[in-house]
Structure 1
Amino acid sequence: MEFSAHIRLEVRVTPADVGKRVSVRRVVEDAPEGEKFTDTVGVLTSWDNGVLLITRRSGESVQIPESALVAGKVVPSAPARRRGPAASYEELARVSARAWQPVEREMLGGWELRAAAGFTRRANSALPLGDPGLPLDRALRYVQDWYAARELPAYVQTATGAAGTQELLGAELEGRGWTREVTAELWTGALAPLGDLTDPGPGGTGPAGTGPAVNLSRTVDEAWLGGYGRKGLTEAALKVLGSGPSVWFATVPGAGAGAPAAIGRCVVDGRWAGFAAVEVDPSARRRGLATAVMAALARRALSEGASAAWLQVEKENAGARTLYAGMGFAAHHAYHHYRAPAVAEGPGGGQAGRRLDGDARGGSPDQYRSA
């Protein structure tokens, strides 16, 4: 509980606290006995016309009538302790962006506009990590025009739940009619324990044992793409997959000349190793192949001097979340992609442009997809 029953309840938040992290208690009308009050913790994103709007860590917005408040206070901007490596939001945002580099980019002040022919929103959205240098309405208009000229829908990627994230910007986008289409989380964990998870066995990347062989390559090949589950990838998509400071592709061979039993991708960037595209063929599930892929990639990243790990996973992917939690990962922050409202068609179709292909995808519990 944020408020103790032994202290006098007092509302100590005001409209001047917009932008700060707060904890408030309010009365719930018609609630059962013993559930008269409820607490909400998050960033106060607006206080207009007697209504507070609080954005929770997950990105969910809660409206609270001022008249229902019984207590409230400003709290630290982020939890004092987290599992996993210490890292700021900005550091992780930049590291994760370098793991999915666009084919084309342009800076608008502190906003990076990214395009890659529609392959993954992470390479086809504006990433705001500073002031755009323009009033917000003009900046968003520029973003929309920039993507319309490339026959792509306009997206802005924001984040919530950590110090320095963009709850206020998300609220502004929603107020202007932008729609949140995708929400996922970035998780972090220690890298060394991953390398000890399993022995890859003969032909793999570690000492001999009984585990599956995991082959590592610097380049994506037809075998790896056969396990990726996306057909007809464009040249731009292949460039995005191969982008990053130090990229590795893992493959567990399948039976005969068929598709691989499992695949994965890792981008090593300084102290960080980012894991993605960990997928297991349906016929080879529940044999520990996802773990073997993660372990082999972790050992390679450790050999290059990395010490921390990150990955991205959708909230609905219960199987992946269970797997990664068991490996020591924990959520650092949530991120969201907001799509611009429909407008009259610009060059090449404007907002009626093509649907983007994928992000931190969900799937069955055995697919363990993180990208």
Structure 2
Amino acid sequence: MPGDFSSGARLELRITPTDVGKRVSVRRLVEITDGHPTFTDTVGVLASWNAGVVCVTRRSGETVRIAESELVAGKVVPPAPVRRGARVIPVPSVTAEELEEIASRAWPAIETSRLGEWTLRAASGFTRRANSALAGGEPGVPLEEALSVVARWYRTRGLTPYVQLPDTSPYAAALDALGWAREGDTVVRTAPLAPLLDLPSRPGVVLSRTPDAAWLAAYRRTGELAEAALKVVSGGPSVWFASLAGAEAEAGAEAVGAGAVPGAIGRAVVDGPWVLFGAVEVAPSHRRRGLATALMGALAREAYAEGSTAAYLQAETDNDAARGLYDRLGFTDHHRYHYRRP
């Protein structure tokens, strides 16, 4: 395939696991025939680098797994150019369970354990999503036994047992009969990414790979769980944070001032063709001024540069303000899920 290294260039491996989330070009050794090496190049986002395996996600969404021992060269490369008026690619056809698996990678728990096709997740109690059993597929044991395992696993960690499941789950009726209470009704919405690229730009939007103290202060949901919160919000295949300070939101200054609490924040996680938008928060005094759409536009352009073509987000069903905003941006309902607890 076409490469990003010239034939006469010196081969150097100039990337490390700290470059996860960046766009890279890597060359690997395929074989040596009669003393002549054959190489292949891969360009995409460095999705992970664990246990001697490097994963690079191409613009097509395909993830290429490369043994670290096969790498002969690698470097960080500029993002692909963003084209305004890009062709609208339809949202991929996925089931609720498949999209929930993708979403789980974008909001990763600190600790996980498998129970058949269920995933038990814990993060010191920071958010239900990161501290619930994702009920996708079969648990591998009868339901009541699975629920007993879930309850023990969470109570051992001092947490309330929660199960997250789509509204269409075959287990919903049985959980009703067993008295597991329902809460946290949430709708997952999807949209083609291309139209979001044309959202208006705004001076002062700051993008970064890590959330600073001001971003976390504006998020307002960390409480006493700041350490766990930082691990969860920073996790994911390719994470971006956006902020716009209160004063700059009105004056159009160039950057968020040091120590200033942002008037608006947002977060996006790129995972192949998908990008999650989340943590979109606007201070009450700055609402209805287009800050949320400006942040989402900036994040969308970064996601598109990394190969995303489809967006998704999660909103509680009683959040009418968020629903109105996302309606205007072209998001439609994909599925709904909720939580159960004993």
Instruction: Give me the TM-score of the superposition, normalised by structure 1.
Output: 0.63
1:141 corresponds to 2:153: no
1:173 corresponds to 2:169: no
Cα distance in 2 for partners of 1:198, 1:85 equals 26
Aligned residue in 1 for 2:337 = 335
Q: Residues 6-155 of structure 1 correspond to what in structure 2 (within 5 A)?
A: 84-155=91-162
One-letter amino acid of the counterpart of residue 332, structure 1? H
* Cα drift, residue 84 of structure 1: 4.9
Q: Which piece of structure 1 moves more, 177-186 or 127-136?
A: 127-136
Aligned residue in 2 for 1:32 = none
Q: Is the 8 A contact 1:212 1:289 kept in 2?
A: no
* Cα drift, residue 182 of structure 1: 1.1
Q: Is the 8 A contact 1:85 1:190 kept in 2?
A: no
One-letter amino acid of the counterpart of residue 282, structure 2? V
Aligned residue in 1 for 2:236 = 244
Cα distance in 2 for partners of 1:335, 1:260 equals 31
Aligned residue in 2 for 1:215 = 206
Cα distance in 2 for partners of 1:281, 1:127 equals 32
Percentage of identical aligned residues: 55
1:156-188 CA-partner distances (Å, limit 9, x unpaired): 11102xxxx41x201111110100021010000
Q: Is the 8 A contact 2:133 2:150 kept in 1?
A: yes
Which residues of structure 1 form unaligned runs of 5+?
1-82, 200-210, 341-371
Q: Which piece of structure 1 moves more, 233-242 or 294-303?
A: 233-242
Q: Is the 8 A contact 2:198 2:297 kept in 1?
A: yes
1:20-63 CA-partner distances (Å, limit 9, x unpaired): xxxxxxxxxxxxxxxxxxxxxxxxxxxxxxxxxxxxxxxxxxxx
SS at match of 2:141: coil
SS at match of 1:261: strand
SS at match of 1:226: helix
Q: Is the 8 A contact 2:136 2:165 kept in 1?
A: no
Aligned residue in 2 for 1:196 = 198
Aligned residue in 1 for 2:315 = 313
Q: Is the 8 A contact 1:84 1:330 kept in 2?
A: no
* Cα drift, residue 215 of structure 1: 0.7
Cα distance in 1 for partners of 2:285, 2:338 equals 33
Q: Is the 8 A contact 2:124 2:225 kept in 1?
A: no
* Cα drift, residue 87 of structure 1: 2.3
One-letter amino acid of the counterpart of residue 223, structure 1? A
Cα distance in 2 for partners of 1:155, 1:247 equals 26
Cα distance in 2 for partners of 1:235, 1:258 equals 21
* Cα drift, residue 133 of structure 1: 1.3
Cα distance in 2 for partners of 1:239, 1:258 equals 22
Instruction: Give me the TM-score of the superposition, normalised by structure 2.
Output: 0.69
SS at match of 1:338: strand
Cα distance in 2 for partners of 1:258, 1:305 equals 32
SS at match of 1:184: strand
Cα distance in 1 for partners of 2:177, 2:224 equals 38
SS at match of 1:130: coil
SS at match of 1:227: helix
Aligned residue in 1 for 2:57 = none
Q: Which piece of structure 1 moves more, 125-134 or 98-107?
A: 125-134
Moved over 6 A (4+): none
Aligned residue in 2 for 1:278 = 280
1:80-111 CA-partner distances (Å, limit 9, x unpaired): xxx95432222211111111111111001111
Cα distance in 2 for partners of 1:115, 1:198 equals 38
Cα distance in 2 for partners of 1:242, 1:218 equals 8
Cα distance in 2 for partners of 1:258, 1:238 equals 19
Aligned residue in 2 for 1:287 = 289
Cα distance in 1 for partners of 2:309, 2:145 equals 41
